[in-house]
Amino acid sequence: MSLARPIAYLAGVGASAPEGRLTNADLERTLDTNDEWIVERTGIRERRIARRDEPLLEYTLRAARQAMERAGVTAEQIDGIIFATVTPDRRLPSAACDLQSALGAKKAWAFDLVAACPGWVYAISAAEGMMAAGLGDTILVVGAEKLSTITDFSDRSTAILFGDGAGAGILRRGAEGSDRGVLATYLGADGDLAELLYIPAGGSAEPLTPEIVQEKRHLMRMAGREVFKAAVLAMSRSTDEALRRAGLPPGSIDLLIPHQANLRIIEATAKHAGIPMEKVMVNLDQYGNTSSASIPLAVAQAEAEGRLKPGMIVMLVAFGAGFTWGSVVIRW
């Protein structure tokens, strides 16, 4: 069954990241790597890294408050909170409940969503669906990570890629007859490929022990080349599929805001979609891959730079561990 869209639009987006910076030059001091290699193979120049005692909630709150301010929404008006993350401050209760309490969003339901890098894209889709089901008119959709807690800083193939950050958006029910908002969504997953990008232990199957920590099996492991190929394929297909679902012809994207994993993945996705790089938002040079925070960080920056104008067709597209992927087409 399809819905009469648009139902929901992004009324405000906010972003925040820890102050701490980790540059390629910093990594050169501890790893057998160099700035030239990292920039050429990934496009990344620096990442933000939270202090050990700086909880995810701290910078997520800043992002959420900024989104609320830009949307003109108070905590009392929020009906629900979806918090996409793979690095919550604690396992119980959810990061969403901690955020609900910190904001004083008393009437909001709240839950976490685990979908790795496409987390925010999944969360927008979930929020839109819940809105259609009558579960609210104003939903806070968060994508935030403290990936530095699951990164192996002795592994040069992953340590160079990841960073910390938070993004948030207020998704609101649109006015009757408005053509502004989410036009189409597309989500996918392939759990058969889980072990190409995963954390081997530390969950319920193999609870944390000193041995696991010693062997660093509580940290991310990745088969970079395989992930790269799968990412290009999934991001390209997701872009095509969301456009098709929106009933829009190829070439109608005004701004592509892709997951910021690797500049070469972004370039390949844009090339496949026939989009020149001038119409692609890129900020991974400053943040690296921040998983579910990556797209909202890029959306907030695009808005701050005046690159988002009313009526524009905006495509969000992401890929990540799972594997998971997804895309959202928005008339801004």
Ligand X SMILES: CC(C)(COP(=O)(O)OP(=O)(O)OC[C@H]1O[C@@H](n2cnc3c(N)ncnc32)[C@H](O)[C@@H]1OP(=O)(O)O)[C@@H](O)C(=O)NCCC(=O)NCCS
Spell out where the chain has E strands.
8-16, 21-23, 46-48, 80-84, 109-113, 138-146, 164-173, 181-189, 197-198, 221-222, 255-258, 313-320, 324-331
Q: Which of 24, 218, 259, 283 is catalytic?
A: 259
Residue nearest to ligand X (CB): 224
Nearer to ligand X, 213 or 277 (CB): 277
Nearer to ligand X, 287 or 319 (CB): 319
Active site residue 117: yes
Q: Distance between CA atoms of 313 and 267, rounded to whole angstroms? A: 19
Q: Distance between CA atoms of 76 and 51, rounded to whole angstroms? A: 31
Q: Distance between CA atoms of 216 and 209, rounded to whole angstroms? A: 11
The pair of three-digit structure tokens given for residue 254, joined into one six-digit string: 């005004």
Q: Which of 24, 262, 283, 289 is catalytic?
A: 289
Give min distance, CB of 74 to ligand X, in A: 35
Beta strands 181-189; 8-16: pairing state = unpaired
Give min distance, CB of 257 to ligand X, in A: 15
Nearer to ligand X, 308 or 317 (CB): 317
Contact 39, 90 (CB under 8 A): no
Q: Which of 97, 117, 218, 283 is catalytic?
A: 117
Active site residue 289: yes
Give contact residues for ligand X (rule: CB under 6 A): 33, 37-38, 41-42, 117, 156-157, 160, 222, 224-225, 227-228, 231, 261-262, 289, 319-320
Nearer to ligand X, 94 or 269 (CB): 269
What φ, ψ does residue 274 adopt, rounded to 5°?
Answer: 70, 30
Q: Which residue is listed with tokens 């938070």?
A: 166
Spell out where 51-148 has E strands.
80-84, 109-113, 138-146
Give min distance, CB of 61 to ligand X, in A: 25
Give min distance, CB of 330 to ligand X, in A: 21
Give min distance, CB of 145 to ligand X, in A: 11
Catalytic residues, by residue number, are 117, 259, 289
